[in-house]
């Protein structure tokens, strides 16, 4: 793919409204955009979705940046890959660091698609020209406030509402929501806030006809989720626990979930996402695409993977304006009546807008071909 240079654009973006989950509140979103530049000056873009702190998973942005600078950037430049599907293999000797790997792997896919002059979704094997989207709403201080938020988003046309729950903000909150909205497609995401000791609470949620409950138990657990799924009717959807093809396979075999939320960053990139997609399809496990409060680049990558056939349920790929006063891409992502049109432009389908990006840029780091070729691995 002839990569000459890698730029890491580190951004600080302000969330339009703070986003609260069981593990904390996000006000500023630190974003890293990986730009791969080839010998002809063509650029491919990917987004590293690691959080600022290791609260969702063990990864965090400062560490991911070191991992890209020290390992994955130089390795990619040294490699002779001719297709982005091989990038995962190149990175494989270095364990985990999925979000670091994904930031650069997704950029390689965008670059390749642009080199071919084709939209990324077609290169990935997608066949949808539009995708259904839902919205993920953070915890609010009161039931009245979350009900107001839901009303607004239902009116905007989002096809599925996800609310965050945590111990003490669960059964009664969902009951209050269901009293006002008895029939909307509704689900709850616990972000691993419960244990099997809470099984009575989780059983009570069966009453509310939720589409699914996302990641109720430990963030790396597969075994206890299988026990829980036998005790509750609500389908379990795994998020945090699925960080590779191997543990997707384990979860499916053990019956730990009936649905999987695929996050490209969490599983190390698009190649691994496709592997999980194919496995889930064979096993009749429906998928949807999760989000990590991405800026436009990551959002477009997510939309591209959602065009694969087994992404059956609406994803967390809402409009840019749901997250940001101004996104860093032109045009921005717009969901109309809960549907996003997939762009047919080459690559991810929109331009990174450097004028917009400059306003939120902290710093750009560079990995040159010269530096990369000097580095020795595996001696």
Q: Which is nearer to Mg ion, 110 or 272 (CB)?
A: 272
Count the site residues for ligand OSB by CB under 6 A. 12
Distance of CA 147 to the CA centre of its chain: 25
Q: Write out the binding residues for ligand OSB, residues 171-210 only, by CB under 6 A.
A: 189, 191
Q: Which is nearer to ligand OSB, 25 or 330 (CB)?
A: 25
Q: With CB cut-offs between 5 and 8 Å by kind, which of ligand OSB, Mg ion, none does residue 132 bind?
A: none
Q: Write out the binding residues for ligand OSB, residues 106-145 only, by CB under 6 A.
A: 136
Annotated binding residue 198: no
Q: Could you tell me where the DSSP H helices lie in the chain?
A: 61-67, 73-78, 87-91, 98-116, 120-124, 143-156, 171-180, 199-204, 223-231, 245-254, 270-282, 296-306, 320-323, 354-358, 369-374
Catalytic residue among 5, 85, 263, 356: 263
- Residue 286: CB minimum distance to ligand OSB, A: 16
The two structure tokens encoding residue 16:
């339009």
Q: Which is nearer to ligand OSB, 3 or 262 (CB)?
A: 262
Distance of CA 324 to the CA centre of its chain: 17
For residue 332, give every residue at least 6 positions away whose Cβ sits within 8 Å of its Cβ, in sequence order, or none.
296, 319, 320, 321, 350
- Residue 59: CB minimum distance to Mg ion, A: 15
Q: Write out the binding residues for ligand OSB, residues 45-74 only, by CB under 6 A.
A: 56
Q: Using DSSP bridges, classify how beta strands 186-189 and 161-164 pair: parallel, antiparallel or unpaired.
A: parallel
Residue 293 makes contact with ligand OSB by CB under 6 A: yes
Q: With CB cut-offs between 5 and 8 Å by kind, which of Mg ion, ligand OSB, none does residue 105 bind?
A: none
CA distances 186 to 15, 62, 307, Å, are: 24, 35, 22
Q: Which residue ranges make up the site for Mg ion (CB under 5 A)? A: 189, 214, 239
Annotated binding residue 59: no
DSSP code at position 343:
P
Catalytic residue among 153, 164, 166, 356: 164
Residue 243 makes contact with ligand OSB by CB under 6 A: no
* Residue nearest ligand OSB, Cβ-based: 291
- Residue corresponding to tokens 């539009």: 130
Contact 93, 71 (CB under 8 A): no
Residue 193, SS3? coil
Annotated binding residue 239: yes
Enumerate the known binding-site residues for Mg(2+): 189, 214, 239
Residues with active-site annotation? 164, 263
Interacting residues with ligand OSB (CB under 6 A) = 56, 136, 189, 191, 239, 290-294, 316, 318
């Amino acid at each position: 793919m002839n990569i000459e240079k890698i730029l890491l654009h580190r951004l600080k973006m302000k969330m339009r409204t703070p986003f609260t989950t069981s593990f904390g509140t996000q006000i500023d979103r630190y974003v890293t955009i990986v730009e791969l530049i080839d010998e002809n000056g063509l650029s491919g873009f990917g987004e590293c979705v690691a959080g600022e702190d290791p609260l969702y998973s063990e990864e965090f942005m400062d560490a991911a940046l070191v991992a890209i600078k020290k390992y994955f950037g130089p390795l990619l430049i040294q490699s002779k890959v001719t297709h982005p599907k091989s990038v995962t293999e190149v990175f494989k000797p270095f364990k985990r660091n999925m979000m670091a790997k994904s930031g650069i792997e997704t950029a390689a896919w965008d670059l390749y698609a642009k080199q071919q002059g084709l939209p990324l979704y077609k290169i990935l094997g997608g066949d949808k020209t539009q995708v259904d989207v839902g919205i993920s709403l953070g915890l609010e201080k009161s039931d009245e406030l979350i009900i107001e938020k839901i009303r607004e988003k239902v009116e905007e046309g989002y096809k599925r509402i996800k609310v965050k729950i945590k111990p003490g903000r669960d059964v009664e909150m969902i009951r209050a929501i269901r009293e006002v909205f008895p029939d909307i497609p509704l689900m709850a995401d616990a972000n691993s806030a419960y244990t099997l000791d809470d099984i009575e609470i989780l059983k009570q949620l069966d009453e509310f006809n939720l589409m699914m409950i996302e990641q109720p138990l430990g963030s790396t657990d597969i075994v206890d989720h299988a026990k829980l799924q036998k005790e509750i009717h609500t389908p379990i959807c795994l998020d945090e626990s699925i960080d590779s093809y191997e543990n997707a396979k384990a979860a499916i075999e053990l019956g730990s979930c009936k649905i999987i939320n695929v996050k490209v960053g969490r599983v190390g990139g698009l190649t691994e996402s496709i592997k999980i997609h194919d496995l889930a399809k064979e096993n009749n496990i429906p998928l949807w695409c999760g989000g990590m409060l991405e800026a436009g680049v990551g959002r477009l990558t997510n939309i591209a993977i959602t065009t694969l056939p087994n992404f059956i349920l609406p994803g967390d790929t809402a409009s840019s304006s749901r997250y940001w006063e101004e996104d860093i891409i032109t045009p921005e992502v717009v969901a109309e009546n809960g549907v996003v049109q997939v762009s047919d432009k080459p690559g991810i389908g929109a331009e990174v807008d450097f004028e917009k990006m400059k306003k939120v840029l902290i710093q750009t780091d560079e990995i040159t071909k010269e530096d990369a070729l000097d580095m020795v691995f595996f001696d």
